[in-house]
Structure 1
Amino acid sequence: MTLSRTPITPNGPSQDDDPETFGRREQDWRNGAIVYQVLVDRFAPSAQLDAKRALYPPPKVLREWSETPQRGVYLREAKVSSHELEFWGGDFASLRSRLDHIQALGATVLYLNPIHLATTNHKYDALDFLQISPEFGTREDFLRLVADVHARGMKLVLDGVFNHMGRNAPVFQDALANPNSPWRDWFAIGPQYAGGARAWVGFQNLPELALENPAVRAYLYADPDSVVRRYLRDGADGWRLDTAFELGPEYLRELTRAAHQEKPGSLVVGEIVNYPGAWLDSIDAVMNFNLRQIVLGLAAGDIAPSPACRMLERQVNEAGSAGIEALLKSWVVIDNHDIPRIATQIPRESLRRMVQVLQFTLPGAPNIYYGSEVGMTGGDDPENRGPMRWDLVREDNPELLWMRKLIALRQQRRALRVGNFRLAEANRLLAFERTTDRALETTIVLANPADRAITERVLLANAFLMDDTPLVDALAPAELPPVCNVQAGFITVTVPPESALVLLPRERSLGGYSRYKRVR
């Protein structure tokens, strides 16, 4: 099969400085969004729990909100671990009751882990993609959630698990038992497979869908009443695709085009745990795990600042035909439901804050995993999927105050949301600029992962950043003096250990005279 190399969204030059480019980017909600991720079962306690208890029959277990998840034992008959059948009872109604928190934080996108009918708590084992899991509510409850999210000026992205289904899915059970089943060729079935069918990375509870079958693709995304299209018509604004790199570039391209046909401007972002590169010709955006590795490698001392800079520049230069346009839409992930929480990964506050500064200043859309904004901890699954700690949502919580500061910075700085990316010339610091068509919107980021302060003379190859312009630290108190001044394109700056500076140009007060009057 010959694969088309036509980009899914032709966007023109990747680092265009035309003012219209930045205006267009600003009009696209997908660029530089603030994404807030929620596991519906774990986000907010249900007010209707007693009325729902029948929805959790054995071997399912309904836990108290004060309990934390612990790894269970493998249940051979169910072919899942016991902790996958433990529930905390959150639903759409309880999520709606806490949208104020998400909105006040400054999130622009609400991303929900799977909501379709499934056996487990995580819902990655679909029984029927077109049915809502009753523990969460009904289709009408979902539509009310959509309306509430949109009324707050936010978008809603759903989780599409289209590589596989659940073993208990009626279509799979019929296919497994009946050689003449109309669903037989929806799966790869035979004695050569453990459990009788090809399953995702060997997990027998997750039989893989045969995407090569046109009927499967029609059901998932190609038909007018397919899964992808129906939820978009119901008000969803996009899809995050689970294990997207295993769907392959051609089917990703087809799915993305189907989504755009149904809802122009919708988002398709893929869980692609590879180098992004050419994948961005098949999909709008990726969950940027490669970027995560660079940032965490820098923090751990495994990657020195100089090669980290080259890696970042290469990723931008090789981001498919769309270039930085695709990276602006890509999600910058540090923690989520598959990864230990950031406070557990990086217990040292100074390094953790440096990583978060980079998460919020590098090109892309920062992904906030529920509870990370208040300092929740948790190791590998299931410990990282604990119920939301509402007791930590307090005005004196330093983690919450820090997160609000980072989000406010992005809201205030257009360059961080939709700006281009350019390296600054440094040796022992990770140093880069985010730029637009306006010189005074330039944002300079310098990160020092070392355990000692570093002073360095750094070249800013920014022709319109005027000589003698003061640079102030956006994350420091406003009353502090400038950190340094631009001197013929250079700055000499000291960055404290395990920290990052975000420097903003401040025009000098020259009695009404402006050096920027003809270069804005």
Structure 2
Amino acid sequence: MSTFTAREADWRNGAIVYQVLVDRFAPPDAGVDKTELYPPPKRLRRWDERPTRGPYLPELRLWRHEIDFWGGDLASLRGRLDHVQQLGADVLYLNPIHLAFTNHKYDALDHRALSPEFGTRDDVIALADELHRRGLRLVLDGVFNHMGRQAPIFRAAEADPQSPWRDWFHFGPQYPGGTRSWWLAENLPELNLENPAVREHLFNGPDSVVRRFLRDGADGWRLDVAVDLGYAFLHELTQAAHDEKPGALVVGEIANYPSAWFPAVDAVMNFPLREIILRLAAGRLEAPTAQRMIERLVGDAGIEPLLKSWLMLDNHDTPRLATVLPAEPRRRLAQALQFTLPGAPNLYYGSELGMTGGDDPAMRAPMRWDLVRDDNRALQWTRQLVALRRAHRALRIGEFRPLTTTRLLGFERHTDRVRDTVLVLANPGDEAVNETVLVANSSLMNAKRLLNLLEPDRPPLVMNAALLDVSLPPQGLLLLAPETDPPGGYSAYKRVP
């Protein structure tokens, strides 16, 4: 089996990931009264209300907006899977669904239990079954660095120094609130992962949290604040996941330079590449510098883990893309790079519709189903990018090779078949660029046409002895592929695979 055939057989490589906050994705059944699931001080809001920042509640050690809910659940999510599938996603990624006090669920009360607002373990199994029937995979969010302050085991440990749970946490007067908490957030006491019993419970044990949910049908884990778990414990967790389900995905939320984090995890959320793309698209990073950065990152990290790594432009922790890049040409340029650079594009629910939203909690607004229309330009563009990626093998599993340029960003995605080749050129600047580019691919035939994938009706370009003359307007894009089967029956590619 060739390298590329093996990559293609691995669902994790180049997958399109769709991210959902269950509470905010699909409105609950109107005939079901859910108010009892949100006792005060929690509030159940109307679907058309926008989240706004609230005051700090010292008695709970959290913010008012962390306990405002919109009522989405796993059953309502299952009813909207047509949208996810028709968009072309391969993976559904859910933010935490385990039992927790807040709406975001990053403050687990019990990692094994499901939050009743979302449903039951049977609902998880039913969702996984339905996704698999549709040819999709399910990835869950694992929050294994900390728990919520209201977790029963933490309260028992806090109240009694002789509690069997005492050494599951770090207590001491040197810590604000009396316990070591993640980034000093007193509602998030950190777990003592150095205690083998904690790791046994979370991932090492045969009935651990990681293993049980994989047996329930999940296909992988996205690990919250994975960098805080460290290399050794991440390696243990990843091995446990692979032992339970060979081919499972473990992707870490690691904003650091990624190269040294493999194979402790299979993949990372590629924050460095995201930052390069956004700065480039905003005009804050010059194309030649961005190209050198990308080339170094791919070289240092290696193509294999990067193909599995999630490349997001926005998510539940960042302002939405349409807010960060309000100008459509710049936003489109960023999205085109997201779908053509090595990685697994991660789409945050609603951003495919052009939803806006600034800092927390504005970026976590309920899904705008009224924007799911065929005349929505943002949705049209996302669908076009998804279709191109699905049609061109190199964009999913291909190698990366930079083009030799002066003012443009340019690269090539290629496989063992020349017909898969895609050339990508972008002009992030404010002036038109006319440039001659060197394409260092010996299998691309001289004087043969390169077709415009984004605008098929535009005249093709022709290379002359590996040199390509291109003209790009400000924020212009070119995606080119060789015409290997031209009309007339003669192909210069007849003996080149």
Structure 1 position 281, deviation (Å): 2.5
Q: What residue in structure 2 maps to residue 12 of structure 1?
A: none
Equivalent position amino acid for 1:275 in 2: Y
1:48 Cα shift? 5.6
CA distance in 1 between partners of 2:287 and 2:33 (Å)? 56
User: 1:408 matched to which residue of 2?
Assistant: 387
Q: How far 1:463 sits from its partner (Å)?
A: 0.6
In structure 1, distance between residues paired with 2:239 and 2:496: 40
The residue number in structure 2 matching 1:512 is 489
Deviation at 1:139, TM superposition (A): 1.1
Residue number among 369, 376, 386 corresponding to 1:397 in the alignment: 376
Aligned to 1:503: 480
Residue 216 of structure 2 is aligned to residue 238 of structure 1: no
Whole-angstrom CA distance in 1 between matches of 2:48 and 2:266: 39
Whole-angstrom CA distance in 2 between matches of 1:265 and 1:165: 28
Partners in 1 of 2:194 and 2:485 — Cα distance? 63
8 Å CA contact 1:49–1:89 kept in 2: the answer is: no
Instruction: Please give the alpha-carbon distance, in whole angstroms, between the structure 2 residues aligned to 1:313 and 1:153.
Output: 33
Residue of structure 1 equivalent to 2:458: 480
Q: 2:249: which partner in 1? A: 267
Correspondences of 1:271-310 after superposition (within 5 Å): 271-310=253-292
Q: 2:362 aligns with which of 372, 383, 386?
A: 383
For 1:469-519, what per-residue CA distance to the aligned partner results, in whole angstroms no more than 9, with x for missing partners? Answer: 21122111x33321x211111100011211221111113637433211111
Q: Verify the 8 A CA contact 1:470 1:508 in the aligned structure 2.
A: no
Identity of aligned pairs, percent?
Answer: 63
Counterpart for residue 323 of structure 2? 344
Q: Per-residue displacement from partner, 1:136-167 (whole Å, max 9, x unpaired)? A: 00111111111111111000000000010000
Q: Which moved more, 1:412-421 or 1:301-310?
A: 301-310
What is the rounded CA distance, in whole Å, between the counterparts of 1:149 and 1:513 in structure 2? 44
Q: From 432, 445, 459, give the equivalent of 2:424.
A: 445
- Between the aligned partners of 2:416 and 2:121, the Cα distance in structure 1 is 45
Where does 1:38-117 land on structure 2 (aligned, <5 Å)? 38-47=20-29, 50-117=32-99
For residue 130 of structure 2, give the secondary structure of its aligned residue in structure 1. helix
Q: Which runs of 5+ in 2 are unaligned?
A: none
Distance 2:441 2:163 in 1: 65
Distance 2:485 2:169 in 1: 67
Alpha carbons of 1:509 and 1:33: their partners in 2 closer, same or farther (altered >3 Å)?
A: closer
Instruction: Measure the CA separation in 2 of the matches of 1:379 and 1:20.
Output: 45
1:214 alignment partner in structure 2: 196
* Cα offsets for 1:256-294 (capped at 9, x unmatched): 010000000000000001111111231100000000111
346, 353, 358: which one aligns with 1:374: 353
User: How far apart, CA to CA, are the structure 2 residues paired with 1:77 and 1:507?
Assistant: 68
Which amino acid in 2 is paired with 1:266?
A: A
Superposed displacement of residue 50, structure 1: 4.2
CA RMSD of aligned residues (A): 1.0
> Which secondary structure state, in structure 1, belongs to the residue aligned with residue 34 of structure 2?
helix
SS in structure 2 of the partner of residue 274 of structure 1 = coil
1:256 is the counterpart of 2:238: yes
For residues 447 and 219 of structure 1, do their structure 2 counterparts lie closer, same or farther at Cα, with a shift above 3 Å needed? Answer: same
- Is the CA contact (8 Å cut-off) linking 1:469 and 1:508 kept in structure 2? no
- Partners of 1:97 and 1:391 lie apart in 2 by 16
> Which secondary structure state, in structure 2, belongs to the residue aligned with residue 301 of structure 1?
coil
Q: Distance in 2 between matches of 1:206 and 1:508?
A: 59
The answer to whether the aligner puts 1:317 opposite 2:295 as a matched pair is no
TM norm structure 1:
0.94
8 Å CA contact 2:282, 2:325 repeated in 1: no
Given that residues 141 and 222 in structure 2 are in contact (C-alpha distance below 8 angstroms), is that contact kept between their aligned partners in structure 1? yes
1:7 counterpart residue number: none
Measure, in 1, the Cα distance between the counterparts of 2:30 and 2:110.
24
SS at the partner of 1:248?
helix
Q: How does 1:26-37 map to 2 (within 5 A)?
A: 26-37=8-19
Which consecutive residues of structure 1, in runs of 5 or more, have no partner in the other structure?
Answer: 1-18
Task: Say if 1:415 and 1:443, in contact at 8 Å, map to a contact too.
Answer: yes
Q: TM-score if structure 2 supplies the norm length? A: 0.99
Question: Which deviations, in whole Å up to 9, do the C-alpha atoms of 1:191-233 show, x marking residues without a partner?
Answer: 1111110000000000001111101100010000000000000
Instruction: Tell me, in whole angstroms, the C-alpha distance in 2 between the residues paired with 1:222 and 1:386.
Output: 36
Matched with 2:333 is: 354
CA deviation digits over 1:82-109, x for unaligned, max 9?
Answer: 0000000000110000000000000000
1:329-355 alpha-carbon deviations (Å, 9 max, x no partner): 000010000000000000000000000
